[in-house]
Amino acid sequence: MEILIRGNKLEVTDSMKGYVKEKLSKLDKYLVDQKAKATVLVKIHNYLQKIEVTIPLKTLILRAEEEQEDFYAAVDLVINKLERQIRKNKAKLQKRDKVKKEFNLDDLIPIEEDNEVVKRKKIEVKPMSSEEAILQMDLLGHDFYMYKDSDTDTVNVVYKRKDGGYGIIEGK
């Protein structure tokens, strides 16, 4: 696997690069396609080290991020998240022939998780502006809110971001 490591407002040292490469090499046993390219972004936010890893593959994208005071602990947690993503989706991945060629799924230990839908809810999507949707979301105490944009007449979702801001997913 090719690994690209870069820092944002931070110089990534050789020892940091070596540690990331060593830990990411654990994922090589799952990836049959050795042309995979991992992008690692290291950021500093106040006193926290943030690690973001993205591995785009032919059929899906593996992505994880973690923030810790210690860089090495953050890397360990990100690798665990990536392995967990592969394990969690093992059953789904085995059903698809393309993915079988991309992953060596025999080495994975399955995680027992119930992905059953336990609740369905139908809502009336009302026309409003994004500002009104944010206000409504905050009033309800939710992390996201679906609404119909009064300007574009599309169904959108506004959500709270980890950084404290808001994001909007726009429908077509």
- The class that CATH gives domain 127-170 is alpha beta
Could you tell me the CA-to-CA distances from 133 to 14, 98, 166, 171 in Å, in that order? Answer: 47, 40, 11, 15
163: CB partners within 8 A, 6+ apart = none
In the block, residue with structure tokens 């042309």 = 35
pLDDT per residue as tens digits for the range 5-48: 999 888 889 999 999 999 988 887 777 655 778 899 999 888 88
107 pLDDT more than 60: no
In this prediction, residue 29 carries a pLDDT of 77
pLDDT per residue as tens digits for the range 108-142: 555 455 567 777 878 888 889 998 888 888 877 78
Write down the domain spans for the chain: 2-107, 127-170
- Is the pTM here over 0.95, yes or no? no
Query: Strand 48-56 relative to strand 127-128: parallel, antiparallel, unpaired?
Result: unpaired
CA 84/CA 9 separation, integer angstroms = 29
- The CATH architecture assigned to 2-107 reads 2-Layer Sandwich (3.30)
Comparing 64 with 100, which gets the higher pLDDT? 64
